[in-house]
Chains A and B, each alone.
Chain A
């Protein structure tokens, strides 16, 4: 018995002492991963998340809801019928927060510590862009308590408060040093961050119905040729235009343009938009492909969504149309006209076709652009132009909801356009403060119906 105890004790001693320290060392650091990163290196990743949300799944769904697209195949048939469940929204939400907002907040903290104001300004603008997109899609979202250590159930802030916070972030960016195009890993690089920040501010104010501030911001907004463009110049998976990646490479035929409101606006057989000063046939060819996968596809071959075509995140056209809308809402038809014609000139350059300058007399009862009166006709024309020229982007869906569908988009199914994304199932499951999923037709705070 003694002997046993001796051996037992010895073995246990060996066991206890045997290289416990070394043992722990080998799993301390994962040889395949890093433990920290420079904020400069983090920035492109956060920007890519921003691009993915504004050009990827969220944009596709927003486009289906706005009538840009039609759900044609598989799950997208249901989506096109506005039948979706909370789980369908998990991924864009995750992209927004974990790959976008969380990274921006780390970058901001690190940039502040290093006193890198330029980087800080870009992180502020990127975060504001993400917040504005998220809030446009879901309305109330976690913001003030989001991505904060120790808070496991961030509360949902009001849509208007999120917009105010985004504007504050943009003001911070402008107060640092935003007059540059540095730290633009995900973008093509011709932009100026201060201009981007101002157009984003204008976008936020416009959604809030504050036309004065929107116009003020847009005055310093994105200039011609200075669009913030997602860079898709490399012809390789992982860098492609996301519409191309989705519609040609991964999910051919899932989304069509056939029967969309967009088609109806531009189609030569209906010629909704053509008039004495306008011929949309070039734009039609740039936007659509006939009988590719479906009777009419978004142009993923040689047009707007071709593999290496850059995608606008914040654009001159949007900025001009914000200025135009603010002007006409203030009754200033001449200013509105200037900005609208700027966009028409831009159309003629970018897609070809006929876009002669309008004059004030072209609007109103019995005119080229008809309407109850000149102002109404012009407001509608500005919104239709924005709906058309921002093809594939999220903002037209915001305009439809903001203006109670002033331009009269016919829903794919039923009589109502969807108003929002559902609160994602993953968030409902894990966040005690998450509201119920809701329905697609619940109006958002800033977009009452």
Chain B
């Protein structure tokens, strides 16, 4: 009684309580979510009536994943469940995505949820991914979304407790399709067009050069006024020249005269419409004794970047179940995937696409990038690479020409993956069933990275890496399910289980550089001398075993109590880890008189304790190969000096323990007005203690880091899910649905240690900082006095603070989505609008483009009187008048009336106007200056995530072409509109891929919008 009262109070205090197994937009399409018989899949892959669960779970139906038009299951979950944040790494085809459920739960460990497919944990690793290189895939991309029946997102500790130290980030339970009675064949074909959804604007007024004058090969676009040129380049007839492969000749420029602005042409060299063909065949069949589901699929995508950017995934699946007898059932789920893709170099990378493309001066034509260089004496150099920083291609340009990046470099990934899940269940007693399930998930990924000779930077003499990654996860899972009656009012279901898991990751490869034969592309180590070959390997394995028990009490069909305990041992920590949890659901409406307003109400409360296992091999301080590097790329390698092995700068810790996460959750699921309105409300708070990290220690101790259970974090938040049936008639059905999630994360304690670098650069990084949310953006700031005013230098310009600090927060204040779905006769439709508010991002690209004088912001002009010009100075301290007298027309020039027109802008930082020009932007005011604070931007966004329509053709038509099951056609638009204040790029991206560091943009490859056309035949 007391308990009941308490729950009532809680419920009353809560704002809006909630629906249960929240049918997301995909799941609820066209039907009422209020289905008391609805089931949800639990963490171990068994089913349970949603009425009886005491924790929050979001369910997304398979067709919702398919209609999103995404190639990957994770990406397709976007916007479909509250507090489930999906961030794709970039718009490359097949790019991985980062999943974050209820905020971050660890600092340097993985924040990715456990993925369980058909009751067996599978890998969703994303191996690699840093501030440069290519975008890596997530291994969950290997699943075909069309094979999926449903996905449940278990967010809380209680729901996931049986998974112990793998459950802290939530569990995503994927259930694949089973054969249904009878037989049906479905064939669907989708054609999709992808386009870049947001681009940077470039200025077209000022040419390549510096100081207001043209200078060939110069990095910057701080040159002359293009409009004031005479029209034609004057060429030295006896000079060196570049002859492009198509015969176009580029001579040595004596004086720049060409007035053409090539921004559009250079843009069209880089982007195209990406085309995808996705074909999918599935056969479902079943009878009393057996059922099977078979599918084949082929996803063949060309990326939006015009060159070697593609992704092709071919999958096959067979799910088979046979009832051998009344008691014995055996089955096998088998999945095979082959994924082959070409990626494009990106990020902080001289050989990356956007870096070379966006920095290109507006007056430089990138179209001919490969050819032959002839010196003035006529001596040829073949396979020369022409870019704006080496327009004759005499040596490799400082940055790649984007054409070279897209067409000459090779970055393939070739993945083969098998997931096999044999299962047998035996009903050994009328109330008991024993299930034995094995899982074997194996993938190999062969990655080739190849830079031909004359690629930019340190790849100028060619380099090649052949990298093999082999991952396995093998599980044995035994479950006994029993049901019992305890008196007349109480039913008890018991589950005991044992799970053994073995995981291994093996990486072997080698790289070779300084090619011997310089003009034939071969992926062969023989093309390098011995000292330029570098083999590498690494190996790690993990074993864990876990025993668990679950007791489900059903009291009078209105109070549902679940108690769970799991005990786990693992190879990465010393003592067993125990995860208890409990949840209680009370169906209030069983005790109320039925009324027209409240149709159903359930209150739920749950609590649990889960963990995060520490990583392998951190017990000892290792002795490692000596190597010293300055952070700028120059380094000394001990292996070239006779070999040197010395103590690692990371100190091991034999006493490491799992991180402990405890969470409590309160919620309610409510249906109103004869089930027309369903609402789900959840409040949770959790605390993570002893987060494991290689904590930064004072380097003067001789170590840079030490492994410790050093940090505490906490999250709290709310989740609201709703569905309103607006219209329901025989022909017309319309639902309004939506969700809203808010999470507050705080790094409560880092044991007094330094902020932890998670990802990024020396100047700007994403860090864990005590008292801040995880991933806080960190970097240089403006110097300010006690009153908060900028400290100005003698000329009136702001100055940099000598210490760095927190400059931004990449975590959103809240996220939400709202949608409409339904059908009118044979027409189904779905509209999903999603928003993310209050997150910040470091606009690294924009800041650096300011440095180069490429952004329109840097190309504005202003005019001042001669009197003012004598007083206003630039960052060098040079006045406008002096600058104009120098006669560089791109810097400043004197008009007929004596006034002065200059490039740049005037700004008053507090001591009168100063002139912002090249000397400001290439120093403190640009992206290479030390004040990162000025490029922290609001990266909130709102977008039309999905608009889909499908139409079932009249039966007469499909019968006429002998398609008895019907034909439907559909259209989906993805990312059709985006509203954001963030310049130049869809802020739903992350430079460092699926890492814990967030909110960084630095020449990331751009995002996409898509139009998909689909036709489906049911035979």
Q: Which residues of A contact B (CB under 8 A)?
A: 1, 3-4, 7-8, 11-12, 14-16, 18-20, 22-38, 41-49, 51-52, 56-57, 73-75, 77-78, 81, 83-88, 90-99, 101-103, 105-106, 141-142, 146-148, 151-154, 185-186, 231, 234, 236-240, 242, 245-246, 249-254, 422, 424-431, 434, 436-439
Select one of B543, B546, B624 contacting A34, CB under 8 A: B624
A439 with B636: CB separation less than 8 A? no
Known contacts A15-B567, A37-B646; A97/B804 CB under 8 A: no
- Tell whether, in the assembled complex, residue B647 and residue A103 are in contact, meaning their CB atoms are under 8 Å apart: yes
Q: Which residue of A lies closest to B513 (CB)?
A: A237
A86 to B778, CA, bound (A): 13
Q: Which of A47, A74, A153 has the most CB of B within 10 A?
A: A74
> Which of A75, A239, A424 makes the CB contact (< 8 A) with B637?
A239
Residue from B571, B576, B626, B632 in contact with A16 in the complex, judged by beta carbons closer than 8 Å: B576
Is A83 touching B700 in the complex (CB atoms < 8 A)?
no
Contact B804 A23 (CB under 8 A): no
Q: Do the beta carbons of B622 and A87 come within 8 Å of each other?
A: no
The residues of B that contact A425 with a CB separation of less than 8 Å are 803-804
The answer, among A24, A51, A426, for a CB contact under 8 Å with B636, is: A51
Q: Which residue of B lies closest to A15 (CB)?
A: B547
What distance in Å separates the Cβ of A80 from its nearest Cβ neighbour in chain B?
9
- 29 A-B Cβ contacts within 8 A? A19-B543, A23-B571, A26-B571, A28-B620, A30-B620, A33-B622, A37-B647, A42-B626, A44-B644, A48-B628, A48-B644, A75-B929, A78-B923, A78-B924, A86-B804, A91-B631, A95-B630, A96-B699, A98-B699, A142-B698, A147-B702, A185-B638, A234-B640, A246-B630, A246-B633, A251-B633, A429-B754, A434-B698, A439-B802
The docked-state distance in angstroms from the alpha carbon of A19 to that of B476 is 15
What 1/0 flags go to B732-765 for Cβ under 8 Å of A? 0000000000000000000001110000001100
Nearest A residue to B217 by beta-carbon distance? A293
Q: How near does chain A come to B986, taking the closest CB pair, in angstroms?
A: 27
Given contact pairs A99-B649, A103-B647, A141 touches B700 in the complex (Cβ within 8 A): yes
Q: Which residue of B lies closest to A49 (CB)?
A: B628
Chain B residues near A103 (CB, 8 Å)? Answer: 646-647
**A27-B572, A251-B632 known; 15 other A-B pairs, CB under 8 Å?**
A8-B496, A30-B617, A52-B636, A77-B923, A84-B930, A88-B930, A91-B762, A98-B702, A102-B647, A102-B703, A238-B627, A246-B634, A250-B633, A252-B398, A253-B398
With beta carbons under 8 angstroms apart, the residue of B513, B646, B699 that contacts A426 is: B699
| Listed residue (A18, A26, A85, A95) with the most chain B CB atoms within 10 angstroms of its CB | A85
Q: Which residues of A contact B480 (CB under 8 A)?
A: 7
List the B side residues contacting A30 at CB < 8 Å: 540, 616-617, 620, 622
Contact status A245-B697, CB under 8 Å: no
Return the 7 tightest CB-CB contacts between A and B, nearest first.
A45-B626, A15-B547, A429-B754, A102-B702, A238-B637, A250-B633, A147-B702
Given A30-B622, A85-B780, verify A44-B638 contact (CB < 8 Å): yes
Cβ–Cβ < 8 Å partners of A24 in chain B = 571, 574
| Bound-state Cα–Cα, A430 to B702, Å | 13
B271 lies within 8 A of chain A by Cβ: no
Residue from the list B484, B634, B636, B645 in contact with A249, Cβ < 8 A = B634
A50 to B638, CA, bound (A): 12
- How long is the Cα–Cα vector from A81 to B929 in the complex, in angstroms? 11
Q: How many residues of B contact A (CB 8 A)?
A: 101
- A11-B497, A27-B571 known; A99 vs B804 contact (CB < 8 Å): no
Of the candidate stretches B303-311, B464-472, B531-539, B553-561, the one touching chain A is: B531-539
Question: Is B790 in contact with chain A by the CB < 8 A criterion?
Answer: no
The answer to the question of B928 belonging to the interface, with a C-beta cut-off of 8 Å to chain A, is yes
B482 in the interface (beta carbon within 8 A): yes
B interface list, Cβ under 8 A from A: 219, 398, 429, 432, 457-458, 478, 480, 482, 484, 486, 494, 496-498, 500, 513-514, 531-532, 537-549, 567-572, 574, 576, 616-617, 619-620, 622-624, 626-649, 696-704, 753-755, 762-763, 779-780, 799-804, 851, 922-924, 928-930
Min CB–CB distance A134 → chain B (angstroms) = 9
> Which residues of chain A have C-beta atoms less than 8 A from B549's C-beta?
8, 11-12
Q: How far is the CB of B786 from chain A (nearest CB, A)?
A: 16
Report yes or no: A245 in contact with B646, Cβ–Cβ below 8 A: no
Report how far A379 CA is from B826 CA in the complex, Å: 98
The one of A84, A92, A238, A249 in contact with B630, judged by C-beta atoms closer than 8 angstroms, is: A92
Q: Are A81 and B923 in contact (CB under 8 A)?
A: yes
B863 to chain A, nearest CB (A): 28
Q: Decide: A75 and B763 in contact? CB cutoff 8 A.
A: yes
- Residue of B626, B634, B802 near A422 (CB, 8 A) is B802
A27 contacts which chain B residues (CB < 8 A)?
541-542, 571-572, 616-617, 619
- A363 CB to closest chain B CB (Å) equals 38
Contacts of B703 in A (CB 8 A): 98, 102
Distance in Å: Cβ of B754 to nearest Cβ of chain A: 3
- Complex CA gap A81/B647 in Å reads 38
User: What's the minimum C-beta distance from B36 to chain A, rounded to whole angstroms?
Assistant: 28
Which residues on the B side are within 8 Å of A99 (C-beta)?
626, 628, 646, 649
Residue of B nearest to A151 (CB): B701
Tell whether, in the assembled complex, residue B702 and residue A48 are in contact, meaning their CB atoms are under 8 Å apart.
no
Partner of B620, one of A22, A35, A86: A35
Cα A186 to Cα B802 in complex, Å, equals 35
CB proximity of A393 to chain B, nearest CB, Å: 16
**Identity of the chain A residue whose Cβ is nearest the Cβ of B576 in the assembled complex:** A16
**The one of B547, B623, B924 that contacts A11, using a Cβ cutoff of 8 Å:** B547
In the bound complex, do residue A245 and residue B634 qualify as a contact, i.e. CB atoms below 8 Å apart? yes
Q: How far is the CA of A23 from the CA of B543 in the complex (A)?
A: 6
A57–B629 CA distance with the chains assembled, in angstroms: 9
When distances are taken between beta carbons in the complex, the residues of chain B under 8 Å from A28 are 619-620
B646 & A42 in contact (Cβ 8 Å cutoff): yes
Known A4-B496, A94-B649: A185·B923 in contact at CB below 8 Å = no
Asked if B628 and A245 sit within 8 Å, CB to CB, the answer is no
Complex Cα–Cα for A12 and B539 (A): 31
Which chain A positions have C-beta within 8 A of B762? 87-88, 90-91
Contact of A83 among B494, B763, B924 (CB under 8 A): B924
CA distance A393 to B571 in the complex (A): 50
CB neighbours (8 Å) of A45 from chain B are 626-628, 638, 644-646
Taken together as a complex, chains A and B put the C-alpha atoms of A56 and B636 apart, in Å, by 10
For B630, list chain A residues within 8 Å (CB).
52, 56-57, 91-92, 95, 242, 246
Q: Is the CB of B632 within 8 A of A246?
A: yes
Determine how close the nearest CB of chain B comes to the CB of A435; give it in whole angstroms.
Answer: 12
CA distance A358 to B369 in the complex (A): 57
A14 to B545, CA, bound (A): 10
Evaluate contact between A83 and B803: CB separation under 8 angstroms. Answer: no
Chain B residues within an 8 Å CB radius of A93: 699-700
For B704, the closest partner residue in chain A by CB is A98
With beta carbons under 8 angstroms apart, the residue of A84, A153, A185, A424 that contacts B642 is A185
Residue of B nearest to A45 (CB): B626
Contacts of A430 in B (CB 8 A): 696-698, 753-754
Cα A430 to Cα B755 with chains together (Å): 9
CB proximity of B108 to chain A, nearest CB, Å: 16
The listed residue with most B CB atoms (<10 A of its CB), out of A19, A102, A430, is A430
A48 touches B755 (CB 8 A): no
Known: A23-B570, A34-B622, A147-B700. A249 touches B641 (CB 8 A): no
CB pair B646–A239 under 8 Å, yes or no, is no
B residues within 8 A CB of A85? 780, 800-804, 930
Min C-beta distance of A10 to chain B, whole Å: 8
The answer to whether B699 and A186 have CB atoms under 8 Å apart is: no
Contact B647 A427 (CB under 8 A): no
Establish whether residues B803 and A428, one from each chain, have CB atoms under 8 Å apart when the complex forms: yes
Which has the most chain A C-beta neighbours within 10 Å: B398, B636, B754? B636
Residues of B close to A26: CB separation below 8 A: 541-543, 571
Contact partners of B644 in chain A: CB under 8 A: 41-45, 48, 185
Report the minimal beta-carbon distance from B693 to chain A, rounded to whole angstroms.
13
Q: What residues on B are CB-neighbors of A185 within 8 Å?
A: 638, 641-642, 644
CB neighbours (8 Å) of B567 from chain A are 12, 15-16
